[in-house]
Amino acid sequence: MNLKKNFYIYLYIPIAVFFFSCEDDDGGSNLGDAVGTWNLQSLNATYDRTVVTKAGIDFSADVYKLKASWKDAAGYATKMVIPEATVSAFTEQTLASFKAGDNAPGFPQTAQYDAAGLAAAGIALTVVLNDANSSGGRGTYTVTGNYPTIRFNPETCNSYGTVASMTDAGLWTADQDASGNKKLNNFILEPDITLGDQVLPPFPDGSYLVDRSVAPATFKLDFLDRDAHDSRYSEVQTSWSEENDRVNSGLDALPVNSNGAFDPAGSTDPAAEAYIVDPNLLPWGGYLTFFALNCLVETEYLKANPNPKRPLADANEDGVIDVNDMLIFMIVDIQNGYASKTILGVDYSLLIDFSSKINPIPSNDSASIFDLSNISTGGKLTYKIDKGVCMPVNEIITFSTNWNEAQD
């Protein structure tokens, strides 16, 4: 069984993986000070994931769109006696789009664990670096314990964190390069199918440092994981398998900011629901509100279905027909007593504030939250993801690990 296939990582849950090192050196080991048994003390990992769109990959598309639907669409359709499909079609929003070369949502991402953080997460790894039988040879290593991982559900694009057990083995050597030439402080890890499955990534160019002047002795190992990258894999292995080596990223929740609004760089945990903010929505406090939505929807509807007698025109003569022209259109409509409604059944008169008859402005309903029981007051709209967005990625992970010598 290839454990690597399940080794995926989610946009907003920091995780990291690990590894090895060694114990006391009696001065006669073929592989030097790194030989021994070591326990993980800290781990830093930076994950870089970029979107790919190659043909034949699961979830492949020219662009991956994160779409969200208005939470109250069905209830509103029932209340207003409008087909639900119509309401949904007009209110669905594309929150973000990802194409080849873009960072996957939530990346780059850095995970940091000190000793207390490892213990709190239930992460504990021990590596035994066995000596080589002769000078210039390879030693064997084993790593056992619990490591953090993320499982991926392709049906929902859901990624969830867990801690899994590991029993791994392979070959290692130090202070030489992949060709066997002397290279101080270089560390090589490589698989050996005769020793079993390997979760740890192979690499020919890690860097390490052992300090035996302290007790317990310390071992620092930094390395680059690139076997989940469809071109850079060639730096560490000879073949690539789409089925076993490809990583998929999923986003099935909304990253939000402290105001509860969708924000790709949101600092809080992803939420099931969120408001939508956009600087172009300034007349409505920057939020996608019920009144703002009606103005935007009506603009697109009248552009696609012009009224021969009163077409929506470029009223402000700026070269485009947009919501600003729609607002002028509504003001004129109200002043002429036409009593028009939007395609979603809302009176134009609700959408324009005539507090100043000389300078009417859009009605700003961002101070409240939309409530089906009081439609006329409008309010911020709550959006949710019905199904997440899945996308294949190329992944590079930079690890920095610190270990202490195991004590008898």
Per-residue pLDDT at 267: 64
| C-alpha to C-alpha distance for 408 and 395, rounded to whole angstroms | 39
Per-residue pLDDT at 3: 37
Per-residue pLDDT at 110: 87
- Specify the pTM: 0.81
Residue 102 half-sphere exposure, CB side, CA atoms within 13 Å? 16
Exposed, middle or buried, 399 (CB in 10 Å: 0-12/13-18/19+)?
buried
Peptide bond into 279 cis (omega under 30): no
Per-residue pLDDT at 245: 92
Per-residue pLDDT at 316: 93
Per-residue pLDDT at 12: 36
Helix orientation angle between 84-91 and 290-304, rounded to the nearest 10 degrees: 100
- Total Cβ atoms within 10 A of residue 163: 15
Chunk the chain into consecutive blocks of 10 residues (it has 408) and report each block's average pLDDT, rounded to whole numbers: 36 36 54 97 93 86 93 97 95 92 88 95 96 92 88 81 87 94 96 83 96 97 96 95 90 87 77 93 97 97 93 95 96 95 97 94 98 97 92 94 93
End-to-end Cα distance, the chain: 34
Exposed, middle or buried, 175 (CB in 10 Å: 0-12/13-18/19+)?
middle
- Cα Rg of the chain, angstroms: 29
Residue 331 CA, chain-centre distance (Å), reads 43
